[in-house]
């Protein structure tokens, strides 16, 4: 076991009596070579948890053990076990991606560091063209990729990636997932913090869904999906942002995001749903639709939208 | 891995990241220090040699104060705002290594200004320099105090608050501190304040080593500097390690 988190609670106190329970009695473990997805809305408490694993914040209650030793007691050790890509952009100034990644590699490994690793990594992410461009002149996506490279060039036993795919183009995203999977082959474990649930689903071995400081559920993706039962989901693109499109009465937890309407359904209702969707398309209300098995996103939305009942 | 190699890599990272800014600042420091010596001689009509010597031995102190308590806090404010400070805290190195590497860079920025302005002042006015061997430890001690105090308040306070302090410091050091003129010209309450603040001690120690036959620094000056230096760096390390 790499990481063992037991009953971690962190409360931030504001002015007067106000307080924000950022982490509320969290418990989970991460095994060697595992990719663990930490999913949740903005402000769910994911980054606070990461900062405690790194020893940058101390839990108010509970304990965090990295490779068997308490992080609170040896925070410096925690920083050498973990390598991190922060959520915010790393401002590189005049550093080129090659310089920045090489220096972090040396900082972590010293003389054992092989500069060739940098070239191989840049090649895997197809970013050689920018290797020697000053950081200030790079686009947001390339800077994000550079920060990713800085986290994985000399990976610790635990690699923590906080929203690594933000700003990155779809082609390089798939390269990036490949690099993440390769990390686990060499024994590193990965914590993947994200709100991009659909993308994470394909990559992670286990997930925890967080909301308002609590873990609502955790397990492998199929376990988590079974929470909403054996269901299908349909996603429709609406012609305009119809606020009052008539949703069939068998639709489960429908929600609309701009012109995108999603709801779950019982598999028995598949043909009725297709008829209904076709009908809506004929009326010109719907541009297109797609039917698929449930995803973690559905679980995520269902759990976080009925948070009153859970918490 | 040992602290020395960590220091080497952190130094490279910090220096290369801001190389342009550092070179620009070093040039600016040269201009400021020459400006103090020449500019003040316009302000005072027919200055005598003693006045010139005060200005010439005060300029290095001003440079060190500007670098440590004005430019450095501004840069830390930026690093705090853009999240770079938080990122440095995740590095697998001892925090004092980061502080040490940054301090070296700031020392290097001030040196050209101090050396060049002293040469210029000597060639133009021959004010009576008498450089003692103590100049090296004195310079180091004054620089470390200034940088340490700069770190202390800029780590402790919000970027806006530390910028405010910077503005007061630069104006106060130039106009209301016994750096470029003798202490007894100041009102008594300001004199007692300067007995506590580090600026007067910095100026005294600097003068005593640049013109050893004209000026003396007291043991009190050295102790004062030492206390402020420890307070500044101690505070900065405390805040870097704070959770």
DSSP string, A207-240: EEEEETTEEEEEE-HHHHHHTT-S-EEEEEEESS
Task: Answer whether B83 sits within 8 Å of A107, measured CB to CB.
Answer: no
Helix axis angle, B72-81 relative to B135-156, nearest 10°?
Answer: 30
Q: Is pLDDT above 60 for B181?
A: yes
Interface contact flag, A56 B19, Cβ < 8 Å: no
CB crowding A117-145: b at 16 or more within 10 Å, else e: bbeebbebbebeebbebbbeebeebbbbb
Is the Cβ–Cβ distance between A87 and A43 less than 8 Å?
A: no
Helix (H) or strand (E) holding B176: none
A125 plus A205 within the same structural domain: yes
B37 pLDDT more than 90:
no
The answer, yes or no, to whether residue B239 has pLDDT greater than 50, is yes
Residues A33 and A186: their CA atoms lie apart, in Å, by 8
Rounded to an integer, what distance in angstroms lies between the CA atom of residue A229 and that of residue A31?
27
Name the domain boundary from A197, A225, A253.
A225
Q: What is the mean pLDDT of chain B?
A: 90
Going by C-alpha positions, the residue among A13, A10, A38 that lies closest to residue A23 is A10
Indicate the residue among A201, A225, A249 that finishes a domain: A225
Q: Widest CA span of chain A, in angstroms?
A: 68
| Whether residue B9 has pLDDT greater than 70 | yes
Mutate to test the interface with A, among B4, B6, B9 (most CBs of A within 10 A): B9
List the structure tokens of A252: 């489960």
**Same domain assignment for residues A195 and A279:** no
Smallest CA–CA distance, residue A51 to chain B, in Å, is 9
B69-89 tens-digit pLDDT: 999 999 999 998 888 998 999
Note whether A183 and A236 are same-domain residues. Answer: no
Q: Say yes or no to pLDDT of B40 above 90.
A: no
Per-residue model confidence (pLDDT) at position A203: 85
Q: DSSP letter string over A89-150?
A: PPP-TT--HHHHHHHHHHHHHGGG--THHHHHHHHHTT-GGGTTS-GGGS-HHHHHHHHHHH
In a domain, A101, yes or no: yes
> CA of B74, closest CA in chain A: separation in Å?
16
Whole domain around residue B73: which residue ranges? 3-241
Instruction: Provide, as residue numbers in chain A, all residues whose Cβ is less than 8 Å from the Cβ of B91.
Output: 79, 104, 107
Cα–Cα distance measured from residue B217 to residue B234, given in angstroms and rounded to the nearest whole number? 25
Is residue A306 domain-resident? no
Cα(B137)–Cα(B134) distance, integer angstroms: 6
Number of domains, chain A: 2
Structure tokens of A155? Answer: 């990976």
Looking at the domain assignment, is residue A309 inside a domain? no
* Cβ separation A95–B13 shorter than 8 A: yes
Pairing between strand A189-194 and A158-162? parallel
Q: How far is A252 from A233, CA to CA, in rounded Å? A: 9
Structural domains counted in chain B: 1
Q: Does the beta-carbon distance from A110 to B5 stay under 8 Å?
A: yes
**Residue B135: CB partners within 8 Å, gap ≥ 6?**
B209, B210
Give residue A172's domain range. 3-225
Q: Which residue of A has its CA nearest to B1?
A: A110
Entry pTM: 0.85
Q: Which residues of chain A have pLDDT under 50?
A: 307-311
Q: What is the pLDDT of residues B120-178, one digit of tens each?
A: 889 988 888 888 888 999 999 999 999 999 988 998 888 899 999 999 998 898 888 89
User: What is the CATH classification number for the domain harbouring A155?
Assistant: 3.40.50.300
Cβ <8 Å between B92 and A55: no
Q: Which of B6, B90, B243 sits opposite A86 (nearest CB)?
A: B90
Do A238 and A286 form a contact (C-beta atoms < 8 A)?
yes
User: So what's the pLDDT on residue A307?
Assistant: 45
Within a domain: residue A80?
A: yes
Q: Would you state the torsion angle of the CA atoms of residues B93, B96, B98, B102, taken in this order, to the nearest 10 degrees? A: -170
Same domain? For A240 and A166 the reply is no
Rounded CA-CA distance A128/A33 in Å is 28
How do residues B15-33 score in pLDDT, each as one tens digit? 999 999 999 999 999 998 8
Q: Give residue B1's pLDDT.
A: 61
Distance from CA of B239 to the nearest CA of A (A): 11
Map residue B74 onto helix, strand or coil. Answer: helix
């Amino acid at each position: 076991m790499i990481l063992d988190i037991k009953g971690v609670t962190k409360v931030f106190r504001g002015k007067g009596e106000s307080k924000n329970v950022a982490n509320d009695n969290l418990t989970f473990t991460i095994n060697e070579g595992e990719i663990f997805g930490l999913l949740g809305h903005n402000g769910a408490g994911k980054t606070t948890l990461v900062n405690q694993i790194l020893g940058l914040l101390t839990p108010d209650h509970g304990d965090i053990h990295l490779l068997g030793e308490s992080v609170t007691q040896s925070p410096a050790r925690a920083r050498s076990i973990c390598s991190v890509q922060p959520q915010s952009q790393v401002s590189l100034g005049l550093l080129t991606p090659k310089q920045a990644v090489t220096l972090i590699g040396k900082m972590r490994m010293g003389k054992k560091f092989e500069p060739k690793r940098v070239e191989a990594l840049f090649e895997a992410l197809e970013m050689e063209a920018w290797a020697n461009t000053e950081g200030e002149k790079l686009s947001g996506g390339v800077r994000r990729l550079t920060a990713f490279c800085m986290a994985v060039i000399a990976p610790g036993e635990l690699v923590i990636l906080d929203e690594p795919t933000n700003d990155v183009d779809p082609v390089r995203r798939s390269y990036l997932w490949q690099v993440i999977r390769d990390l686990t082959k060499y024994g590193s474990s990965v914590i993947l913090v994200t709100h991009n649930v659909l993308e994470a689903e394909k990559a992670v071995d286990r997930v925890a869904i967080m909301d308002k400081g609590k873990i609502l559920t955790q397990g492998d993706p199929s376990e988590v999906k079974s929470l909403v039962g054996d269901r299908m989901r349909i996603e429709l693109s609406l012609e305009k942002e119809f606020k009052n499109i008539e949703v069939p009465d068998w639709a489960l937890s429908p929600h609309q995001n701009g012109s995108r309407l999603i709801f779950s359904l019982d598999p028995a209702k598949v043909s009725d749903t297709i008829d209904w969707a076709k009908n809506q398309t004929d009326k010109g209300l719907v541009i297109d639709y797609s039917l698929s098995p449930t995803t973690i996103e559905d679980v995520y939305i269902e759990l976080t939208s009925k948070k009153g009942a859970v918490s | 891995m040992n602290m020395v190699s960590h220091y080497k890599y952190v130094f490279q990272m910090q220096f290369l990241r801001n190389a342009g800014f550092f070179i620009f600042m070093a040039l600016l420091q040269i201009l400021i220090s020459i400006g103090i010596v020449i500019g003040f001689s316009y302000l005072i009509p027919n200055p005598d040699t003693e006045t010139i010597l005060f200005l010439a031995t005060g300029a290095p102190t001003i440079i060190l104060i500007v670098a440590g308590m004005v430019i450095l806090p501004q840069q830390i404010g930026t690093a705090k705002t853009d999240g770079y400070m938080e990122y440095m805290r995740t590095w697998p190195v001892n925090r004092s290594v980061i502080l040490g590497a940054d301090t070296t860079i700031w020392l290097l920025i001030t040196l050209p200004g101090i050396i060049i302005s002293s040469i210029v002042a000597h060639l133009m006015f021959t004010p009576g320099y008498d450089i003692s061997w103590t100049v090296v430890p004195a310079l180091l001690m004054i620089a470390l105090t200034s940088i340490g105090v700069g770190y202390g308040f800029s780590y402790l306070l919000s970027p806006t608050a530390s910028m405010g302090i910077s503005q007061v410091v630069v104006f106060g050091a130039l106009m209301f501190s016994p750096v470029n003129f003798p202490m007894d010209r100041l009102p008594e309450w300001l004199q007692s304040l300067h007995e506590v603040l580090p600026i007067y001690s910095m100026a005294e120690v600097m003068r005593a080593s640049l013109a050893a036959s004209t000026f003396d620094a007291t043991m009190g000056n050295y102790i004062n500097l030492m206390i402020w230096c420890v307070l500044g760096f101690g505070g900065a390390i405390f805040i870097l390690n704070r959770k």
